[in-house]
Structure 1
Amino acid sequence: MDDPNTTLTVTLGDLAEKVEERVRSGEYDSPSEVVRAGLEALAREERAFDAELKAKVEEAMADPRPSIPAEQVFEELEKHHRQRMARDAARL
């Protein structure tokens, strides 16, 4: 797929109508433009997520507080899960 003019067949299902609406509105000249714009938006979203994740990891690594042992983290998660399950069961 090194050729930028590669033709692909894609089944859009319910999304086909959304693509057609964008073309009919004049917002895009073709279904290909709509799909390209969608893929570009997805790439932007992924880059933003990666940047946010990287920032959070850097922040965590720079935190001077001592690390929490994994066993303690899992114990607290399990306790939280049990409490949530009990709370949800009480609602029923």
Structure 2
Amino acid sequence: MAKGPAKEGTLGDLHNRVAEVMIGALDQIKAQQEASDPGNEDMPPPEPNSALLSVMVRFLNDNKITCAPENGNQMSELEKKLAEKKRKRVGNVVHLHDED
């Protein structure tokens, strides 16, 4: 017994809940990492599941979520280096080291 398509509000709620679950998972991993003992080599800090990270990246990409790096952070420094550097391209390969 089909009820028809979901209402926009229902889909918005689902979207928000998915985002909240993802944020909660990252918060839980961060808390576990902070609680882990860095000196204990037998039990390294937990790492996020690669499948979970892949789903999160896809979620952000599908929703066209992007960011511009702030001045002074590592991404902006990398962006500057790549912009300043003359790069040779071979297909989709970018050479990051000078060829001597």
| TM-score, length of structure 1 as denominator length | 0.39
Structure ranking higher in helix proportion: 1
| TM-score, length of structure 2 as denominator length | 0.36
Q: Which of the pair has more CA radius of gyration? A: 1
